Amino acid sequence: MVTIELCVESVEGALAAEAGGANRVELCADLVEGGITPSIGSVRLAKERLSIPVMTMVRPRGGDFLYSDVEREIMLTDIAAIRDAGSDGVVFGCLQPDGALDVDLMRELTAAARPMQVTCHRAFDMTVDPRRALDELTELGIERVLTSGQEVDAMLGRSLLAELVERANDRIIVMPGGGILPERIRDLVETTGCQDVHFAALGDDESPMEYRNPRCAMGARPEVPGEYDRVATDVDLVRRFVSALA
């Protein structure tokens, strides 16, 4: 059996993921930025409404994974609040300027997170030496690592993913994620030998707003979706992924 983790950016998305057959969710905010820390209210409500585990992103901003002392304090504060909100786990990743894993910060954040589970997110895909980073995560006792095999999508990275799964030898879960399609997910699982898989099943969700002001926009960058462009977890698409693995 393969564990299916859905990446969602709302409580509604988490509920859709569970309804579609997901085994676990990763709760984030702002997937346009690759996911950042969601509100504590979202974490609490997700835990109240869901019967499947909730992993919560701890990422104070978009961009790189090199964090300042202030951002370190924010992450530690967020971890404490997320634990108090009842989350089953947290998801984070930290790097050094040379592309190596920031082992000291990862160790500190992991210790602060216990007894919650810990996943290293796709900061792993920006490491200069993924094999060394995998060994370091294993030594830290981190439960799983999310990775596309350092490629734009997991199918392109499947050779490295298969190597990492073998190298992990059940000491840490290597969880493929990134650009996975329903029609390729079974092939990916069989090729890599993975036991967990991660994806977002997003579809367009038209805003119900009737009045719209075309002269004004809230975002700073025009390429970011506007106020009337929404995305939501598509329960039917989740079911297609689940059926492909059945």
Position 226 scores a pLDDT of 73
Amino acid 221: pLDDT: 61
pLDDT of residue 205: 83
Going by C-alpha positions, the residue among 168, 175, 167, 165 that lies closest to residue 145 is 175
Q: Which residues contact 151 (CB under 8 A, 6 or more apart)?
A: 125, 157, 160, 178
Amino acid 7: pLDDT: 97
Between CA 204 and CA 76 the distance in angstroms is: 34
Please tell me the distance from the alpha carbon of residue 186 to that of residue 228, in angstroms, as a whole number: 35
pLDDT score for 244: 95
CA-nearest of 120, 123, 69, 70 to 100 is 123
Instruction: Write the burial class of residue 192 (CB in 10 Å: 0-12 exposed, 13-18 middle, 19+ buried).
Output: buried
Is residue 90 within 8 Å of 113, Cβ to Cβ?
yes
Q: Where are the domains of the chain?
A: 3-245
pLDDT value at residue 223 = 55
Q: Which CATH superfamily is domain 3-245 in?
A: Copper homeostasis (CutC) domain (3.20.20.380)
Q: How far apart are CA 51 and CA 91, in angstroms?
A: 19
Residue 137 CA to residue 101 CA, distance in Å, equals 9
Sequence-ordered strand ranges (E) for the chain: 3-8, 24-27, 54-57, 89-92, 117-120, 144-147, 173-176, 196-199, 202-206, 229-233
pTM of the model: 0.93
Per-residue pLDDT 10s for the chain (246 aa) are: 899 999 999 999 999 999 999 999 999 999 888 899 999 999 999 999 999 999 999 999 999 999 999 999 999 999 999 999 999 999 999 999 999 999 999 999 999 999 999 999 999 999 999 999 999 999 999 999 999 999 999 999 999 999 999 999 999 999 999 999 999 999 999 999 999 999 999 988 888 888 888 777 776 565 556 777 788 999 999 999 999 998
Q: So what's the pLDDT on residue 66?
A: 98
Residues sharing a CB contact under 8 Å with residue 78, sequence separation 6 or more, in sequence order? 37, 58, 60
CA distance 89 to 54: 7
| Residue in the structure block whose two tokens are 């996975």 | 180
